[in-house]
Structure 1
């Protein structure tokens, strides 16, 4: 019977669409020999002439080449019936207890395993929660099918995200080229300074374009891997449902917990606020050109630095999957505050369970980046503690964390007892500040091995971590906060 199950699994694989990774729905044959769901083909992007391409081999596809594959549709129905029959036959074969030789007609919810009526009367199971095996089968098959539906929804979301990225990429790259042309027109006014100034603009915009293309390539790899993983899990569930009652119920809770803790890795958005960024860049270019013309000076270093900063600003969004249950996040995921009660949130490996921390969604493994954080004291009487900065992607999420570079955290903040601090080690470094800054700018220079903090209010330096060893790890914005404060990024 195991061989029959493997045969059914192999047939199921052949009946799976490469786009949605589920059984073909209204299958369509293409000239290249591949098949695809009618709805999945409808989601593919059309070119200027109304054509598209095969998602598997990229061969061109025209409307006249599309034809329904009725034989495949019929074969899919037969495979579904065969799969159902194998599952029913497996359900009809209840195993026997190895110890007592009796049929396994009961299920012990406490031990997560099938038992016989003799086992139920022993001291081992006397106080355990026991239900009929038929009831357990129905209960857990409904749960595992719900998990499969959730995995399928995750897959559909990834497919949609992949389509959006494919459509948005050329539009964003065209925006960058348009900005480059616009800069050319503005900089023509600068006469002898034109070549060098335009060289700065062209280089920076080209770097932005390369960064977007690199991120998109990485995202494509992530999406394909995640879709493949989800497809594997769905097929694993299909095989699980074909097992005998004894096999199916063995450690079923552990199996369900494993599916429930599956976290789909989210690709980095390669186009965050691109239009807003380019609009700011364009305005900065115009203002600086005007300033240079008025002063008749070749202050190109300042020109280069200010334009670079306009491109490197990060619009930080808080990652709710990492937030400690005592931290309350706003709907737009820009503000955090301390809650009076511990929230009932899903327990996942990425959540800070003890230390009141949260990470930003954005990640950095190269380049220069900066963002601003506003720290607001809610009541004069409250003297809380807080910290902010950057942390490695793999920073410790469970239990205590000493907020130091040894733990993969580079941060500054305030302590109730010690006042303003840089979290350089367990001993900390006291900061001599005339007053606590209300708004802090965080600068990250990955290749320069530097994390710098300045006051937005005074533009004064707060602290710099020099010669930082990031060990090629991905970094994310980091926030730590206790009662009495609110942070907005």
Structure 2
């Protein structure tokens, strides 16, 4: 019995938390090899502001990572509790049968209970395995010694594993190098992109300067022609008028810059982690619009025939999303392949004027509009100064909203490039996405503007959904 008590005391030392002095509850083992209850260690570390240390040996650790529960200590703790309970049952205080008031002489292996002679002769124990108390105690000590040796070897291996040593593969260094490599690639792409933008700005300035020089030369020629005799003037007037019309027709191309595509690697993939599943309001703002049954697309009707392409006018022919946002980040994509003219953006009931004054009472919209004239597509914003031209359409537009910073961005999904971005919008009310599929071009059949499902991608080769 003395050996069993000593053995149990050893198990208790290995399964007792040095903070609460009780059996482990969700035991965790830290780098120095000491173990504690998960709640006890958490409470101890919360009191340490910067670097954390072992509550027992006071060894400081620069890593504040909380360890996982040590499963083998959980099993050992449960085993210690069971052994403690069995030892109590075989102690002097429990050596007498409460029913017959006789000393225990046998131990039932099946029920794991001590028995007196009369209990051992009862019908319920006739088929059970019975052993004398001394023999059962001896077997118990041998089993305990075997378990103790087994867990001792396990602890030695665990301590060697937890001991600070240089890893065979330095994964931290390798992963850091991979991120540095990605950062380097992005810096190179950024440098090339900015240099391309600077060259394009210089080319635009040169183009405008050349066009202004042509206009000045034409004006001087017109002034000189005004001084010519009538007959000579009539002979030259046809040529002058033709040149004037040609110069004026080139004015928009010279003054309005072209929307260049500067791909940002990985941008669309990053934005897509904030995708939201939008649906359109079943009742649009205008009878000229028709919303599909699944509330995922809207189409302009034949009644929408307007001359004005201004955002203020076209905003009346729009449909709102059923969802509104007042926090977080959201991203959605819209297929505009079948609508040559369209408008996308957000609507909010009011904005914050400044930090002192009250909120503005006027509703606000922030829009990107595409207008097609002849074979050229023009992009403009409301509000804002953007006015760019593009030779081809944008098949799919991504819209990114970040409420807290007041950011609204529009992206060419196919080219992974930015079209335009609003900054520092003083949101003070929920923000609702807005969609407008027009106005339709005269003589054309209007197609739908469609919300893209959150699980679809775009094939770069053919611009079609996968």
TM tier relative to shorter chain: 0.3 to 0.5
TM-score normalised by the chain length of structure 2: 0.32
TM-score normalised by the chain length of structure 1: 0.31
Bigger radius of gyration: 2
